[in-house]
Amino acid sequence: MRFLIQNLELYTTNSSIHNHNTRIQLHKPSATLALYQKEPYYESIRVYNALPHNIAGLISQKKEFTTKLKKYLLAKAYYSVEEYMNDHTGRQDEK
């Protein structure tokens, strides 16, 4: 997530690609190579898009975003990224 915060200008939102209301989700480019899919750029999009909306909406406020994200992840104490992703398949807004 630090890569995403430090390089926010590299990312495109879904709303800038099409007219559908996708809230704050980032556009995930199509990639078939597993090597590309494991790079920080691609992986950070996947993790960011699974964040609760109240945290994801703070992305432009770097310090507040980082603080809330840290508190959220420490409260949940995920063992791996896959555990985090599996927990967010039916994502709800967290408070």
Where do the domains of the chain lie? 2-87
Cβ atoms 13, 25 nearer than 8 A: yes
CA angle 5, 8, 11 (to 5 degrees): 130
pLDDT of residue 48: 86
> pLDDT tens digit string along 43-89?
888 888 888 888 988 888 889 999 999 999 899 888 888 898 888 75
pLDDT of residue 95: 45
Q: Exposed, middle or buried, 1 (CB in 10 Å: 0-12/13-18/19+)?
A: middle
Give Cα separations from 77 to 54, 55, 87 (angstroms).
Answer: 19, 17, 12
